[in-house]
Amino acid sequence: MLSYIIPFIFLILVVVFIHEYGHYYFAKKYGVGVTDFSIGFGQELIGWNDKSGTRWKICWIPLGGYVKFFGDRNVFSQSDQEKIIQKYNEEDRKKLFVLKPLYQRVLIVFGGPLANFLLALVIFFSIYTFVGKDFTPAVINEVQKDSPAMAGGLKDNDIILEIDGNQVKSIMDVSKYIMMSTDDFINFKVKRSYDDLVFKIKPNVVEGEDNLGNKINKRMVGIKLGAYNNEINHVKLGPAQAIYHAAHEVYYVSISSLKYIGAMIFGKADTSQLGGPIRIAKISGQVAEFGLLAFISMMAYISISLGLINLFPIPMLDGGHLMFYAFEKVLGRPLSQKTQEGFFRIGLFLLLSLMIFTTFNDLKDIGLLG
C-alpha cells in the first residue's frame, strides 16, 4: 500500500503546487495580496509565513490546493464590490483581487492551468533532450488471421504512416493512437511498395490488460509490429526539435483528451476507463516501479489533465470563473450575486456527480464492487 501512496502523494504535491503557483505568480505580479498558499485541504500539518505575510502550508488531505487572496472568503469569491470598497481603506483596496482590471483577473485565474501545461512542456522537453525520442518507423510484421486488420485490407510489411490523420513517427505511436480513437472506424495510411494507401479498420473491443496489468477495454485491430529493417532509431534532440515535439505532445494529449471526453458524453467512448484519486494512486505506484523516467512522464500527463479539467466552464473550477469574466466582458458588468450562486450550485452538483462516478469506477477497479 505504501508503494502506491508515497508516489501518489509526491506526484499530487508537485502538480498541485505548480498549478497554484501559476495563480500566485500572476497575483503577485499585479499586486494582489495573497494570505494563504495551501497544498491540500483540512488541518494544517506544517506551515510558515513569508516576509509578505503569505502563509505557506501543507494540509493533511493532499487532493488539491488553493491560493487565498486578501479580502476573499475563498480563492476567487465573487463578493459584492460595494461592500468590499466600504470595508477597506484605499491602500488595502489595491491588494484586492475583485477590484483588479478584468484582463488581470483573467490572467490570474488562467495562470494555474497555464502552469500545468508548462510543467508538461518542460518534462517532455527534458526527456527528448537528455534521454531521447524514438523515431523507429512502424512496420506490420504480421496481420493476424480473421482480424479486423485483415478484413480491412492491411498486409504484412506495410509501413504505417498515419492513424486517424496523426503522423506515426515511431512504433509507440501506433498503440497510443489506436487507444485514443473513438470513432467506429480507424483510418490507417500505409506505405506499400511505392504506394501510399488508406484503409478503414473497424477494431474489436475486448477485455484485456494494460502494460501495468490493469483490466481495460482495449481496441484491437490484430497486427504485430516490428522495427523498419530491424533498426531502432532512438535519438537525443537539439533544443529547437525538443521544444517542437514537446509542444506537439502537449497539444495532442490535450485535443485527444477533449475528444475522448466528448465521446464519453455522447456515449461513444468507454466511461469505465474514467478514474479518480484511487486509480491515480494505484497507477502512480505501478509506474514508479518502472523507474524515474516513466514516473515523470506520467506526471506530465496528469499535469495536462489537471490543466484541462480546470478549464472546463464549471463554476468552482478556473474555467467557471473565466466563463463569468466572459459574461462580464459582453455585458459590461459582472453577473448578479444571485445568478452566480445559481451557477455555483449547478457546478457543485456536477463535480459531486463526477466524484461519485469516478469513485465507483475506482472501487470496481480494485475489486471492492462487482
Phi, psi (degrees; rounded to nearest 5) at 335: -65, 155
Q: How far apart are CA 255 and CA 141, in angstroms?
A: 30
From 309, 338, 343, select the one nearest 326 (Cα to Cα). Answer: 343
Would strands 186-192 and 195-201 be described as parallel, antiparallel, or unpaired? Answer: antiparallel
CA-closest candidate to residue 149, choices 222, 198, 219: 222
Residue type present at position 297 = S
| H and E: helices and strands count for the chain | 11, 12
Q: Which listed residue (20, 44, 209, 341) is catalytic?
A: 20
Distance between CA atoms of residues 56 and 47, nearest Å: 5
Distance CA 221, CA 208 (A): 13
Whole-angstrom Cα distance, residue 12 to residue 202?
38
Q: State how far the Cα of 50 lies from the Cα of 38, in Å rounded to an integer.
A: 13
- Grid coordinates of 2: 505504501
Q: Which residue has the cell 496481420?
A: 143
d(CA 79, CA 71): 10
Q: What angle, rounded to 10 degrees, do the helices at 292-310 and 239-265 form?
A: 60
Known catalytic residue: 20? Answer: yes
What lies within 8 Å, CB to CB, of 256 at 6+ separation is: 180
Identify the CA nearest to 343 among candidates 369, 319, 311.
319
Contact 26, 115 (CB under 8 A): no
Q: How far is CA 342 from each of CA 302, 315, 328, rounded to the nearest angstrom? A: 31, 10, 16
From CA 370, how far away is CA 360, in angstroms rounded?
Answer: 10
Q: What type of residue is 265? A: I
Catalytic positions, written as ranges: 20
